[in-house]
Amino acid sequence: MRCRSDLLLVLGFCAALLAPALAWRLDPGAWVALEQENRHPAPFPELPNQIGSVRDFPPAFEAWQADTLGLRTRRSESCSPGSESLRAQTCLFERPDAAGERVLLGHDSFGPWVREPLAELCASLRTLWDDDPEPERILDEAPRVVIELRSERRLLVPPEWLEDSLESLAPEAFAALRALPPRAPGPDSLGGIAPYLGSQIELDSRSGGVRLSSPDGTARVLLEGWELPPGRRLALHLVLRAPRATRAVLRYETQADPRYHRRRHVELPLTQGTNEFFVRLPEAWIVGPLLLQPGELAGEYLIERPEARSSR
């Protein structure tokens, strides 16, 4: 499902508008603290600038807002120290009465302004000050609602897919495409397949492929790549043999982003035994080797020499 930029923009504006209102709780110091953190109060003359004026709010107004927003129940909170830049900071807020939903908030430096007021309306709120949180972390938290709060400069680049789509090809359609010669093999390469981060590979004399031992299901190899013409997409013929049903993950780099980003990958479902794929990768301008994790289970995998072709 695509992440809509206009939705993120609305969320950002809503958070900015609601923060002052939600911060006024039974304790007037909450409003005062928010006002004091405002580095440029001049554009907002309607906000109270003195503690005394805040404490002069009528008690009836304070009680009305607390009852309207359901803020009379005190909540617990805890935050990790995070790194020096605070980008890894995580906080947990919980209401004793468990009223509301389980919410996860991923945010940037604007998050601290809204996370405490938002926590008043949630049974539990987990916040992550992380520019690029791991999808697995979100799944582990199992929230009912996920909110991503980013400043408008993050909207200059369209949000990336968590997983790229993969297009299957008929064998005859693949055969009709222009074949690509592989790059020159590296010193550790076996049939165009090289170890990655100490993985153990060896030639299989019967099939001519490469066996990979994966003690914990995380071992990966490099498919050493092909010289792809500018603007073309990569079509791939790949044969994998798996010890049990699992999935393979194929990561790649592009000219615009030369790194193996976890959000730039495709997945291949595997059954026990031999699996053959004719696929076309979703992006053009792929550069460098492909990073293949042939399965997520411990065991031995067989990778036959892959073949690549150029496609539109």
Note the pLDDT tens digit of each residue in 139-173: 888 888 888 887 766 665 555 544 457 789 999 99
pLDDT of res. 71: 53
Contacts of 124 (CB under 8 A, 6+ apart): 92, 93, 94, 95, 98, 102, 103
Question: Are residues 70 and 191 located together in one domain of the fold?
Answer: no
Least confident of 1-5, 58-62, 112-116, 289-293: 1-5
Least confident of 130-144, 258-272, 290-304: 130-144
Question: Are residues 142 and 218 located together in one domain of the fold?
Answer: no
3-state DSSP assignment of residue 1: coil
With CA atoms as reference, report the closest residue to 165 among 266, 277, 30, 49: 266
User: Which among 41-50, 222-231, 298-307 has the top mean pLDDT?
Assistant: 298-307
3-state DSSP assignment of residue 147: strand
> Are 262 and 205 a contacting pair, CB within 8 Å?
no
3-state DSSP assignment of residue 53: helix
- 59 bridge partner residues: none
Least confident of 4-8, 112-116, 231-235: 4-8
pLDDT of res. 112: 82
Q: Is residue 226 part of a domain?
A: yes
Contacts of 121 (CB under 8 A, 6+ apart): 22, 69, 70, 100
Question: Are residues 175 and 150 located together in one domain of the fold?
Answer: no
Question: Are residues 195 and 149 located together in one domain of the fold?
Answer: no
Q: Is residue 161 part of a domain?
A: no
Question: Are residues 135 and 186 located together in one domain of the fold?
Answer: no
Question: Are residues 118 and 177 located together in one domain of the fold?
Answer: no
Q: In the β-sheet with 124-129, what is the strand arrangement from edge to edge?
A: 76-79, 90-94, 124-129, 102-107, 145-149
pLDDT of res. 153: 64
Whether residue 64 has pLDDT greater than 50: yes
CA 212, CA 220: separation in Å to the nearest integer? Answer: 8
CA 120, CA 106: separation in Å to the nearest integer? Answer: 17
Residue 58 CB neighbour total at 10 angstroms: 8
Whole-prediction pTM value? Answer: 0.52
- Final residue in a domain of this structure, among 127, 156, 185: 156
Question: Are residues 223 and 298 located together in one domain of the fold?
Answer: yes
Whether residue 38 has pLDDT greater than 50: no
Q: Across residues 253-282, what is the average pLDDT?
A: 88
Contacts of 40 (CB under 8 A, 6+ apart): none
Q: If pLDDT is split at 50, 70 and 90, which confidence band does 9 have?
A: very low
Q: State which residues form the domain around 141.
A: 5-156
Least confident of 37-41, 165-169, 258-262, 289-293: 37-41
Whether residue 23 has pLDDT greater than 80: no
Least confident of 52-56, 95-99, 236-240: 52-56
With CA atoms as reference, report the closest residue to 71 among 120, 32, 29: 120
Q: Is residue 192 part of a domain?
A: yes
For residue 56, the 8-state DSSP code is T
Question: Are residues 150 and 182 located together in one domain of the fold?
Answer: no
* CATH assignment at residue 190: 2.60.120.260
Whether residue 123 has pLDDT greater than 70: yes
- Final residue in a domain of this structure, among 96, 122, 156: 156
Q: Is residue 294 part of a domain?
A: yes
Structure tokens at 6: 């206009």
Question: Are residues 113 and 241 located together in one domain of the fold?
Answer: no
Compare 65 and 103 and report the one with higher pLDDT.
Answer: 103
Question: Are residues 124 and 217 located together in one domain of the fold?
Answer: no
Structure tokens at 36: 């004091």
pLDDT of res. 33: 45
Question: Are residues 307 and 244 located together in one domain of the fold?
Answer: yes
Query: What percent of the chain clears pLDDT 90, i.e. is strictly above it?
Result: 32
Question: Are residues 91 and 173 located together in one domain of the fold?
Answer: no
With CA atoms as reference, report the closest residue to 311 among 178, 212, 161: 178
Q: If pLDDT is split at 50, 70 and 90, which confidence band does 212 have?
A: very high
List Cα–Cα distances, 160 to 131, 265, 278, in angstroms.
13, 11, 25
Residue indicated by tokens 């603290």: 33
- Final residue in a domain of this structure, among 106, 135, 156: 156
Q: Is residue 162 part of a domain?
A: no
Question: Domain count of the chain?
Answer: 2
